[in-house]
Amino acid sequence: MKKRLVTGGSGLIGSEAVEYFDGQGHEVVGVDNNMRREFFGAAGDTLWNLERLKGRTKRFTHVGLDIRDRAGIDELFRAHRFELIVHCAAQPSHDKARDIPLLDFEVNALGTINLLEATRQHCPEAVFVFMSTNKVYGDAPNEIPLKELETRWDYARAEDFEGVDEKCRIDQTLHSLFGASKAAGDLVAQEYGRYFGMKVCVFRGGCLTGPSHSGVELHGFLSYLVKVTLSGGTYSVFGYKGKQVRDNIHSHDVVRAIEEFAANPRPGEVYNLGGGRENSVSMIEAIERIGSMTGKKLSWKYVEEARKGDHICYISNLGKFKRDYPSWKITRGLDRILEEIIASQRAQMTLSGAG
Ligand SMILES: NC(=O)c1ccc[n+]([C@@H]2O[C@H](COP(=O)([O-])OP(=O)(O)OC[C@H]3O[C@@H](n4cnc5c(N)ncnc54)[C@H](O)[C@@H]3O)[C@@H](O)[C@H]2O)c1
């Protein structure tokens, strides 16, 4: 029986994919070495999520393999026949990458080509989905003219209203080391689609979110914001008057997009994938909204200097994906996303005795 491979299976998107495909009756192999803990410390530990998955799935096998281990990956592909590879394992933080440039590049670029090449050698007919990022555009989206509104930045011109599309350049812009390592993975994945004709898809994510994120300051915007609001710590807002805008997509809608592509693959295509305008929110709007939903007021401080290469207003233009896959749509709005994250964080705090 053909199986599905999910790398980063204990992370936010990977775990959603594992659970979704398992629920459909597929055999799913999840590869995750809990490296998120190495990147971000105990708060980034994903073992709780792995345990949750084990309790809720029927045909899921976990493998604690490192995607940098080429021989190990090769062995895995010899042992299983995969029809779909969903590649979510990554060093996912823009800021963290500057402290660990080599490790970041090895995981995001080398790990990705290890998986692509193993797919080409062992199951070239399989669909391969690579989770890339809007950081491959570097800070080029900051060149779009903006207007300042009371609580957010927004695009000034009517033609930019729907957000950034896939034609945005990825070259000659400030990416952060993370954006550069992901761009390397993104380009090589496209090449396996275009040059080798494999069924490869590249999704350039906006803010991907959901209840299974092990949110930390350096990665997981809404999840970490909810965590600090509930636990009573102090949150730092970096630059742009707190009016920077992010578009947020629930992990379920990401997995639905993966499912749509897998059913009707277009080799080598690239799609922006985020919450779009309807799920966009600025930092100060999010603080306000979470405050009224939890009944807790966040203590936050403003740091004048923005994060290097950070986007001021980023909204994913979903037009291309919607045109190619008209059955797909956003099913979870911002309030529903926040409700789920709040419920999940409360449950975790109760379990750990903190709440
Ligand atoms: N969450 C976002 O906002 C966002 C935005 C844009 C793109 N993305 C991309 O989407 C993908 C999934 O992101 P996520 O939020 O689920 O991240 P996540 O950190 O929650 O999950 C990634 C998982 O990969 C595992 N991992 C890391 N290095 C590994 C290695 N060398 N070998 C095996 N496993 C390893 C980690 O332990 C973690 O569980 C990533 O490629 C990320 O760059 C995420």
Distance between CA atoms of residues 227 and 47, nearest Å: 18
The predicted structure's pLDDT at residue 19: 98
Distance 92 CA to ligand 1 centre (A): 5
Q: How far is the centre of ligand 1, averaged over its atoms, from the C-alpha of 270 (Å)?
A: 19
Is the dihedral angle over the CA atoms 100, 101, 102, 107 positive or is it negative?
A: positive
What residue's CA is closest to ligand 1, atom 20? 11
Distance from Cα 116 to the centre of ligand 1, integer Å: 17
- Contact present, 282 and 151 (Cβ < 8 Å): yes
Residue whose CB lies within 8 A of the most ligand 1 atoms, among 70, 131, 164, for a mutation test: 131
What stretches in the chain show pLDDT beneath 70?
A: 1, 353-355
User: Cβ < 6 Å from ligand 1: which residues?
Assistant: 8, 10-14, 31-36, 46, 66-68, 88-90, 92, 107, 111, 131, 133, 205, 207-208, 213
What pLDDT score was predicted for residue 289?
97
User: 223 alpha carbon to ligand 1 midpoint, in Å?
Assistant: 14
Q: Token pair of 115, please?
A: 């998986």
Query: How is residue 322 written in tokens?
Result: 């919607």
Q: Which residue's alpha carbon is at the smallest distance from atom 9 of ligand 1?
A: 131
Two structure tokens written together for 117: 């090449």
Alpha carbon separation from 47 to 10, 34, 52, 214, 305 (Å, rounded):
7, 7, 8, 10, 34
- Residue count of the chain, please give it: 355
Within 10 A of 171 (CB to CB), how many other CB atoms are there?
A: 10
For atom 10 of ligand 1, the residue with the nearest CA is 131
Q: 179 C-alpha to center of ligand 1: Å?
A: 14
Q: How many CB atoms lie within 10 A of CB 336?
A: 13
Q: What pLDDT, on the 0 to 100 scale, is given for residue 355?
A: 46
Tens-digit pLDDT profile for residues 187-221:
999 999 999 999 999 999 999 999 888 888 888 88
Atom of ligand 1 nearest to the CA of 67: 32
Atom of ligand 1 nearest to the CA of 111: 31
Secondary structure of the chain in HEC code, one letter for each residue: CCEEEEECCCCHHHHHHHHHHHHCCCEEEEECCCHHHHHHCHHHCCHHHHHHHHHHCCCEEEECCCCCCHHHHHHHHHHCCEEEEEECCCCCCCCHHHHCHHHHHHHHHHHHHHHHHHHHHHCCCCEEEEEEEHHHHCCHHHHCCEEECCCCEEECCHHHCCCECCCCCCCCCCCHHHHHHHHHHHHHHHHHHHCCCCEEEEEEECEEECCCCCCECCECHHHHHHHHHHHCCEEEEECHHHCCEEEEEEHHHHHHHHHHHHHCCCCCEEEEECCCHHHEEEHHHHHHHHHHHHCCCCEEEEECCCCCCCCCECCECCHHHHHHCCCCCCCCCHHHHHHHHHHHHHHHHHHCCCC
- pTM, rounded to two decimals: 0.97
Q: What are phi and psi of 49, to 5 degrees?
A: -75, -35
Listed residue (318, 317, 319, 307) closest to 139, CA to CA: 307
Whole-number pLDDT of residue 306: 94
Place of tokens 């419920």: 343
Nearest protein Cα to ligand 1, atom 43? 92
CA of 53 to the centre of ligand 1 (A): 16
- Can you read off the two tokens belonging to residue 329? 């749509």
pLDDT score for 218: 82
CB 204 within 8 A of CB 136: yes
The two tokens of residue 292 are 């009224």
